[in-house]
Amino acid sequence: MNFSVQQADRETSARLGRLSTAHGAIDTPAFMPVGTLGPVKGIDPADIELLGFRLMLNNAYHLYLRPGHKIVAEMGGLHRFTGWPGAILTDSGGFQIFSLAKLCKVTDAGVSFQSHLDGSTHFITPETAIEIQEALGADIMMAFDHCVALPAEREVVRDAVRRTTLWAQRCQASRRRTDQALFGIVQGGLDVDLRMTSARDLVGLGFEGYAVGGLSVGESKAEMYAMLDVTVPELPASKPRYLMGVGMPEDLIEGAARGIDLFDCVVPSRHGRTGSLFTSFGRVVIKQARYLRDEQPIDPACGCPVCARYSRAYLHHLFQVKEMLSSRLNTIHNLWYFADLMGQVRSAIAQGTLRSFRDEFYRSRDRAVMDDSSVGVADADVHRHAGGD
């Protein structure tokens, strides 16, 4: 993996970059669709590629439980197994273990837990996490980290930061393959000093990239952005920066303005399956009766294949009758929106207009709320990918 910064924004901390991998190059800032078990639910890899994505996230915890990382390795690794030709990043599974698993017990040695699927007992160590991800064959692996629920007492967060650094060292030492990049994950909850300590400790270990973890777990947006403000400056400008599990449109813009290069989230696909569609003027909730006879596309300004062909009335019908095609079309539209949004962010950085682009984004959303053209634009969403997608 190679990463280069091509241009920095004069007014913000945003930058344009290029992330090169054995499975293609990615222009950053970029959003990764989440295919927890391999696919984005209901979407063919060819669709993901056609929508412009070149990097996808798969989850090591879920793939370890089924079909098993050894089976994936026998099948030639994730790229061959899933038919996805682009780059793959695998989450180590730490967040999923702590949020999903039953009877989870954490020590410096590792984590013992019961599977959320069948109650079977497992023990994952930093060494195991690397073994799993090397078997899966991802282009980018994540170090095993200790993510704590918020709010948490400072001593609990401090201990998790210490353990995250310890595990990061062990992840580094246990690597066997030389063709995969490894990112460290900054923890620290909402504590400024602990965030900075975690970042500095991990930078000292010399990872190929760095992720900001432990956010988007119930804190306010102001708190999340404040943690980015103190964490990102501690990370090397020459390495990619990844904000884990964060993906509402405003978060992508705010994260990019603070120097984040990579994002992932289940928002486009999960919202698509529940009939919540992102548009240039806010959000359309397609199940609402107002769309029963609406001949317009989801968004007249959208260039996606769904808006080019189908009316709101038809998409409303598909959702109401629980047709499988509903989830597929809604997800394709939402993924197009996210790909297009990131393209607009990159263009704004290139032109030195990201700040004005951000201001106009909020003005458009505020106008939509006032006009009642959109429903639930500012509502809270659970958008971490613990449960998979």
Confidence bin at 383 (pLDDT 50/70/90): very low
Amino acid, res. 4: S
Separation between Cα atoms, residue 344 and residue 162, nearest integer Å = 39
**C-beta of residue 267 within 8 angstroms of C-beta of residue 383:** yes
Residue 189 tokens read as 């909850």
Q: Which of 23-37, 100-114, 176-190, 245-259 has the lowest average pLDDT?
A: 100-114
In this prediction, residues 195-203 reach a mean pLDDT of 98
The predicted structure's pLDDT at residue 381: 45
Confidence bin at 375 (pLDDT 50/70/90): very low
Instruction: Choose the CATH number for 2-265 among 3.75.10.10, 3.20.20.105, 2.30.30.90, 3.40.50.620.
Output: 3.20.20.105
Residue by residue, DSSP assigns 163-212 as HHHHHHHHHHHH---SSSEEEEEE--TT-HHHHHHHHHHHHTT--SEEEE
The pLDDT tens digits of the residues spanning 336-350 come to 999 999 999 999 999
The predicted structure's pLDDT at residue 97: 85
Tell me the domain boundaries of the chain. Answer: 2-265, 274-371
**C-beta of residue 245 within 8 angstroms of C-beta of residue 382:** no
Question: Is 111's pLDDT higher than 80?
Answer: yes
Rounded mean pLDDT of the chain? 94
Confidence bin at 100 (pLDDT 50/70/90): confident
In this prediction, residues 185-191 reach a mean pLDDT of 98
The predicted structure's pLDDT at residue 380: 37
Question: Is 334's pLDDT higher than 80?
Answer: yes
**CA quadruple 361, 367, 372, 376: dihedral positive or negative?**
positive
Residue 312 tokens read as 């709101």
Separation between Cα atoms, residue 182 and residue 374, nearest integer Å = 41
Known active-site residue 264: yes
Q: How many CB atoms lie within 10 A of CB 159?
A: 16
- Please list the alpha-helical segments (H only) found in the chain: 45-50, 60-65, 69-74, 78-82, 94-100, 126-136, 154-174, 192-203, 221-231, 249-257, 267-273, 305-309, 312-320, 324-351, 354-371
Confidence bin at 55 (pLDDT 50/70/90): very high
The predicted structure's pLDDT at residue 366: 83
The predicted structure's pLDDT at residue 371: 54
Find tokens 């806010």 and name the residue.
282
Confidence bin at 386 (pLDDT 50/70/90): low
Confidence bin at 378 (pLDDT 50/70/90): very low
Catalytic residue among 9, 91, 191, 251: 91
Known active-site residue 359: no
In this prediction, residues 301-321 reach a mean pLDDT of 98
The predicted structure's pLDDT at residue 365: 83
Q: Which of 85-99, 248-262, 269-283, 289-303 has the lowest average pLDDT?
A: 85-99
Question: Is 214's pLDDT higher than 70?
Answer: yes
Residue 363: exposed, middle, or buried by beta-carbon count in 10 A (0-12, 13-18, 19+)? Answer: exposed
**C-beta of residue 26 within 8 angstroms of C-beta of residue 54:** yes
The predicted structure's pLDDT at residue 103: 83
Separation between Cα atoms, residue 177 and residue 13, nearest integer Å = 34
Confidence bin at 95 (pLDDT 50/70/90): confident
Question: Is 376's pLDDT higher than 50?
Answer: no
Q: Cα 79 from chain centroid?
A: 19
Catalytic residue among 201, 251, 264, 299: 264
Confidence bin at 63 (pLDDT 50/70/90): very high
